């Protein structure tokens, strides 16, 4: 069983857009469609009617689900939270990451979940089930918005992914943590998104091979304490597959995961954090081995194979207390930002880059220091 993916992202919304809960029952067709904050829908949300209250802090909306298996129905959980809220609503849409204007899979209609199909002529869209060429939106029914769930509400949505591998899928959701006053004033609107991948079959039988382990910033051969590293080789994942760490993969203390997409990495037999995996590359972080000042360490890659692992041979890699290197934009220009997080670079090298002036504060990125 692969770990569940959860994206926590609390964004108070202040720009006007449209209605989410639509008066909690004042319209039998539910909230307007295209109000999840999805950029492909213009980024609209639901604050035009549900005017945010003064107390937006401490609330959030989150989406929880697992990576998908093509054609296999799974559960999407949308949780809306605020300690003072008494009534709740949401809207959810699923899109192809490769083209967010197109839908990914289908939502299931229940007594508590309504599904509406995209229709530019109808504010609330048209009733589901939806044809393949229409994006769709899942939202609460009137029965799902009743009082009695103080502080938090979970909406459970059944979703059937595309029948074939569709690449990454992005869910967008808006949530209303309302005060239960039957008035649009004083409600709290939040948006979030979650990207999931096709679930990999963790049943590797071919032994992975390591060809190089280097400093992730400049490719130098010596690793340093707590430095980011890149492992090159073959057989780390199915051909063409890749998986980057998400916010939902982080532990409660914001640490990187120790296994990602069926892959683990060991340094001196210690499992280490991973940030990226594809079939020929892994990005990870080696720890500080206080007993090793200067010398070398053993690095290996292990792939899940049922209840066991398929492990590579050890790679012996030079290791030191420090091995400093800057990350770059193009292999030559040091990656940097100004204090306002705009790019600091030669515009000829990085489009939109700005130059620094005497006295400017700048931000540099590196590892192995």
Asked whether the predicted pLDDT for residue 252 surpasses 90, the reply is: no
d(CA 49, CA 189): 11
d(CA 309, CA 268): 17
d(CA 96, CA 212): 34
Contacts of 353 (CB under 8 A, 6+ apart): 343, 344, 345, 346, 347
- For residue 97, being part of any structural domain is answered with yes
d(CA 246, CA 70): 21
Task: Tell me how far CA of residue 201 lies from CA of 59, 70, 306, in angstroms.
Answer: 36, 12, 9
Residues 300, 264, single domain; the answer is yes
* The pLDDT of residue 54: 52
Residues 137, 219, single domain; the answer is no
* The pLDDT of residue 9: 43
* The pLDDT of residue 165: 87
Asked whether the predicted pLDDT for residue 25 surpasses 70, the reply is: no
Residues 103, 224, single domain; the answer is no
- For residue 203, being part of any structural domain is answered with no
Residues 245, 318, single domain; the answer is yes
Q: Which two tokens stand for residue 215?
A: 């400093």
d(CA 95, CA 173): 11
- For residue 144, being part of any structural domain is answered with yes
* The pLDDT of residue 56: 66
3-state SS class at 40: helix
**202-226: average pLDDT:** 92
Q: Which of 141, 162, 196 is the last residue of a domain?
A: 196
**91-113: average pLDDT:** 96
Q: Which two tokens stand for residue 298?
A: 């053993």
Residues 53, 192, single domain; the answer is yes
**71-76: average pLDDT:** 96
268 backbone φψ class: left, alpha, beta (φ>0; ψ -120 to 50): left
pLDDT band at residue 110 under the 50/70/90 scheme: very high
Asked whether the predicted pLDDT for residue 17 surpasses 60, the reply is: no
Residues 148, 39, single domain; the answer is yes
Please give, one letter per residue, the 3-state secondary structure of 289-327: CCCCCEEEEEEEEEEEECCEEEECCCEEEEEECCCCEEC
Residues 103, 241, single domain; the answer is no
Q: To which H or E segment does residue 231 belong?
A: strand 228-234
**110-134: average pLDDT:** 94
Asked whether the predicted pLDDT for residue 137 surpasses 80, the reply is: yes
- Average pLDDT taken over every residue of the chain: 86
Residues 265, 180, single domain; the answer is no
Nearest to 285 by CA among 369, 211, 367: 367
**208-215: average pLDDT:** 97
d(CA 225, CA 239): 32
* The pLDDT of residue 51: 64
* The pLDDT of residue 366: 94
Residue with tokens 């504060």: 361
- For residue 152, being part of any structural domain is answered with yes
Residues 306, 332, single domain; the answer is no
- For residue 234, being part of any structural domain is answered with yes
- For residue 254, being part of any structural domain is answered with yes
Q: Which of 138, 167, 196 is the last residue of a domain?
A: 196
CATH number, domain at 178?
A: 2.60.40.1930
Residues 150, 218, single domain; the answer is no
* The pLDDT of residue 18: 32
Residues 232, 90, single domain; the answer is no
If one counts the domains in the chain, the total is: 3
CATH number, domain at 272?
A: 2.60.40.10
- For residue 201, being part of any structural domain is answered with no
pLDDT band at residue 149 under the 50/70/90 scheme: confident
- For residue 204, being part of any structural domain is answered with no
CB 65 within 8 A of CB 77: yes
Residues 318, 350, single domain; the answer is no
Q: Which of 140, 165, 196 is the last residue of a domain?
A: 196
Quote the domain boundaries for residue 354: 324-369
Asked whether the predicted pLDDT for residue 8 surpasses 70, the reply is: no
């Amino acid at each position: 069983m692969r770990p569940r993916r959860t994206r926590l992202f609390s964004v108070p919304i202040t720009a006007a857009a449209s209605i989410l809960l639509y008066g909690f029952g004042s319209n039998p067709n539910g909230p307007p469609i295209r109000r999840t904050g999805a950029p492909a829908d213009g980024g609209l949300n639901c604050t035009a009617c549900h005017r945010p209250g003064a107390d937006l802090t401490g609330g959030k909306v989150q989406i929880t689900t697992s990576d998908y298996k093509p054609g296999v129905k799974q559960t999407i959980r949308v949780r809306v939270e605020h300690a003072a809220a008494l009534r709740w609503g949401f809207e959810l849409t699923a899109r192809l990451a490769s083209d967010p204007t197109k839908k990914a899979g289908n939502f299931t209609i229940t007594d508590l979940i309504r599904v509406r199909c995209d229709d530019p002529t109808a504010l609330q869209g048209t009733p589901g089930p939806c044809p393949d060429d229409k994006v769709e939106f899942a939202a609460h029914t009137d029965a799902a918005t009743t009082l009695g769930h103080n502080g938090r509400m979970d909406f459970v949505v059944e979703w059937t992914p595309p029948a074939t591998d569709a690449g990454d899928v992005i869910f967008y959701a808006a949530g209303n943590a309302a005060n239960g006053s039957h008035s649009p004033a004083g409600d709290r609107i939040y948006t979030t998104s979650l990207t999931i991948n096709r679930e990999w079959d963790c049943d590797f039988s071919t032994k992975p091979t390591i060809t190089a382990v280097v400093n992730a910033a400049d490719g130098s051969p010596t690793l340093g304490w707590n430095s980011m590293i890149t492992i090159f080789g073959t057989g780390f994942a199915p051909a063409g597959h890749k998986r980057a760490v998400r916010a939902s993969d982080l532990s409660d203390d914001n640490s990187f995961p120790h296994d990602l997409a069926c892959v683990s990495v060991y340094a001196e037999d210690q499992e280490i954090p991973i940030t990226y995996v594809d079939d020929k590359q892994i990005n990870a972080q080696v720890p500080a081995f206080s007993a090793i000042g200067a010398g070398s360490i053993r690095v290996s890659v292990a792939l899940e194979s049922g209840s066991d692992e398929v492990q590579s041979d050890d790679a012996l890699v030079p290791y030191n207390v420090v091995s400093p290197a800057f990350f770059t934009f193009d292999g030559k220009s040091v990656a940097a930002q100004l204090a306002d997080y705009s790019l600091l670079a030669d515009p000829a090298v990085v489009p939109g880059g700005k130059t620094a002036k005497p006295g400017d504060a700048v931000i540099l990125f590196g590892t192995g220091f």
